[in-house]
Amino acid sequence: MQLFFSKKYIILFVLCVSLFSYGQDTLMLKKGIIVDSLLVPETESTFTIYLPKAFDMNKTWPLLLGFDSNNKARNLTEIYKVAAEELGYVVAVTNFSKEHTIKEKMNYVSVFMNHIFSLFPIQRGRVYVTAIKDDAKLVSLLPIIYPKEIFGVIAVEDSYYYDNRVQMGKNFTHFGLVNINNYRYKDFRNNLRYLKRKAIPAYLLTYEGELPDQNLIKNALTTFTLQSMLKGRTHKDSVWVQEQYQKDLRQVKIYQSSQEYLLAYEEVKRIRNLYRLFFQTDSLKEKEKEIRKIPGYKKQRKLRNKFNSKENILRETFLWSIEEDVEVIAYDNLGWWQYQMSEMDTLIKSKERYASAMGYRVKGYVKYLVNELKTTLPKKEINVEKRMFLNILSTIIDKKDFESYRTVISLSAQDQDYNTALFYLNELLQNGYKDIDALYTIEGTLALKLSKEYNGLIKKHLGTARYFFPK
């Protein structure tokens, strides 16, 4: 579908304020702040926009398009606001509808891009996309579907994992940003290796907080800008390049001073490879050698490799065990699972960061496997026992998986196994469940929820119950 840049802009700047005419509505868009709930014409979708303070209609600008299906377009825009201001990017994030098919979403991408292109002077060859988690799977395919329009992707917490089924050119860059505790970390590493074998620029950046920190976001956008200079898509500014180079080197020093030796080493390698086409960077090879000689680097590398190897073994073991146990409905093996998950919990609490991260990732992987099996299991009478087994296993893996407790209570009550239902009700409440009304809407518990035992447990944990019984 052909994309275009509109030559007609109904825009008036007054005191750094832009007036946009959308049919009968006039919207005020200020530069330097996030404006949300803007309509995409002829659709039910909305979008959020951020224009840098220096935004000028007489210049063209790089564009970062975001896509979100959780009604958090503003949150996604907020992540990129600081970096977009510093590096001069327009950020536009739209809401995907969860009800839309993949084909409908793909068609909407073109509609949204054309709409943004019609409003702002966007620089050809400098359009990039981003999304988080499930949305990132689809969005990371956009540079392949629109190779002449989209030149890079920032996939956060998940991605499409490329293989030989996907034919792709080499005109895009892939940034994977993932929390070090995310079970997808291993998949991101495999993705990185695959893309590099295909000579496609690819980077993997990790973080430990809830969201990527600003250094990582700036890192990605700076790389996009540098690559656009090398490709001749924007003016090469040697002074600016040198300034960014010095900033990146200062970040290496920060990593070293905080004893983040692995990060420091990876950053030096990235800097050397990124800037070598602008000027000589061979001197950084000595810096790499210097870091490798640090005892702390050697220790961290050894620990990382140790727990990465252990993770590979555990993932294979648990994958085989889950498939086997679900097939034969091995209730007698639930004790083994309880022990294995307690071992992961011990690792998670460890002060050794690589051990802790591995514990989180392995538990996350097992939870993912169980959820996948739940999703693919047909809801037929013959599968009741498998559903029961999978949901009990879910409560072992994640004690806060309240929906699985509710399912076990429901299935047990329907089978008139009230002892099991009451046991899992008690477990549910002990683990912090507070929604008293929902406890009386669990499917199949009509008789059970009227019982003295059921209400007694609720009153014990929550202080009250719907039905009371005299002593």
Least Cα distance to 253 among 269, 241, 264, 266 occurs for 264
The residue type of 8 is K
Written as six digits, the tokens of 390 are: 């999978």
> In the chain, what are the domain boundaries?
11-230, 237-293, 305-462
pLDDT value at residue 7: 32
**pLDDT single digits (tens) 303-322:** 999 999 999 999 999 999 99
pLDDT value at residue 231: 92
Residue-averaged pLDDT of the chain: 91
Average pLDDT of the residues in 128-134: 97
- CA gap 216, 176 in Å, rounded: 10
Written as six digits, the tokens of 82 are: 């600081």
pLDDT value at residue 4: 38
CB of 5 within 8 A of CB of 123? no
- Residue ranges of the alpha helices (H) in 23-164? 73-87, 102-119, 134-139, 142-145
Q: Is the pLDDT of residue 20 over 90?
A: no
Of 176-190, 373-387, 424-438, 451-465, the poorest mean pLDDT is in 373-387
Least Cα distance to 201 among 259, 150, 152, 234 occurs for 152
Length of the chain: 471
pLDDT value at residue 169: 80
pLDDT value at residue 102: 87
CB of 224 within 8 A of CB of 128? yes
Q: Is the pLDDT of residue 92 over 90?
A: yes
Q: Is the pLDDT of residue 437 over 80?
A: yes
Instruction: Tally the C-alpha atoms within 13 A of residue 165's C-alpha that lie toward its C-beta.
Output: 4
Question: pTM, whole model, 2 decimals?
Answer: 0.89
- CA gap 193, 38 in Å, rounded: 40
The residue type of 174 is H
- CA gap 369, 315 in Å, rounded: 10
The residue type of 39 is L
- CA gap 126, 231 in Å, rounded: 10
CB of 385 within 8 A of CB of 335? no
**pLDDT single digits (tens) 153-185:** 999 999 999 998 888 888 899 999 999 999 999
DSSP readout, 222-276?
HHHHHHHHHTTSS---HHHHHHHHHHHHHHHHHHHHTT-HHHHHHHHHHHHHHHT
Written as six digits, the tokens of 349 are: 């609490």
Least Cα distance to 156 among 220, 238, 231, 89 occurs for 220
CB of 264 within 8 A of CB of 256? yes
What three-state secondary structure class fits 200? coil
For the chain, how far is it from start to end, CA to CA, in angstroms?
74
Instruction: Tally the C-alpha atoms within 13 A of residue 117's C-alpha that lie toward its C-beta.
Output: 18
pLDDT value at residue 382: 62
pLDDT value at residue 463: 94
pLDDT value at residue 14: 30
- CA gap 196, 209 in Å, rounded: 27
- Give 31: exposed, middle or buried? Use CB within 10 Å, 0-12, 13-18, 19+: middle
pLDDT value at residue 379: 67
The neighbour count for residue 317, using CB atoms within 10 Å, is: 12
Of 112-121, 279-288, 307-316, 381-390, the poorest mean pLDDT is in 381-390
Of 93-107, 130-144, 327-341, 345-359, the poorest mean pLDDT is in 93-107
- CA gap 351, 419 in Å, rounded: 40
Least Cα distance to 208 among 167, 243, 272, 260 occurs for 260
CA distances, 262 to each of 20, 162, 228, 294, 469 (Å): 48, 26, 29, 10, 63
- CA gap 345, 397 in Å, rounded: 10
pLDDT value at residue 471: 66
**pLDDT single digits (tens) 219-242:** 999 999 999 999 999 999 999 999
Give the angle subtended at the CA of 216 by the CAs of 210 and 217, to the nearest 5°: 90
Q: Are strands 25-30 and 17-22 parallel, antiparallel or unpaired?
A: antiparallel
Give the angle subtended at the CA of 419 by the CAs of 418 and 421, to the nearest 5°: 60
The residue type of 471 is K
Please, which pLDDT band fits residue 6 given cuts at 50, 70 and 90? very low
CATH 3.40.50.1820 is held by the domain 11-230: yes
pLDDT value at residue 141: 95
pLDDT value at residue 127: 98
Q: Are strands 61-68 and 122-132 parallel, antiparallel or unpaired?
A: parallel
Q: Is the pLDDT of residue 403 over 80?
A: yes
- CA gap 98, 426 in Å, rounded: 35
pLDDT value at residue 383: 82
- Look-up of token digits 């063209």: 60
Average pLDDT of the residues in 266-277: 95
- Look-up of token digits 């008139």: 416
CA distances, 393 to each of 204, 243, 260, 374, 389 (Å): 33, 54, 37, 11, 6
Give the angle subtended at the CA of 184 by the CAs of 179 and 186, to the nearest 5°: 100
Q: Could you tell me what percent of the chain has a pLDDT over 70? A: 93
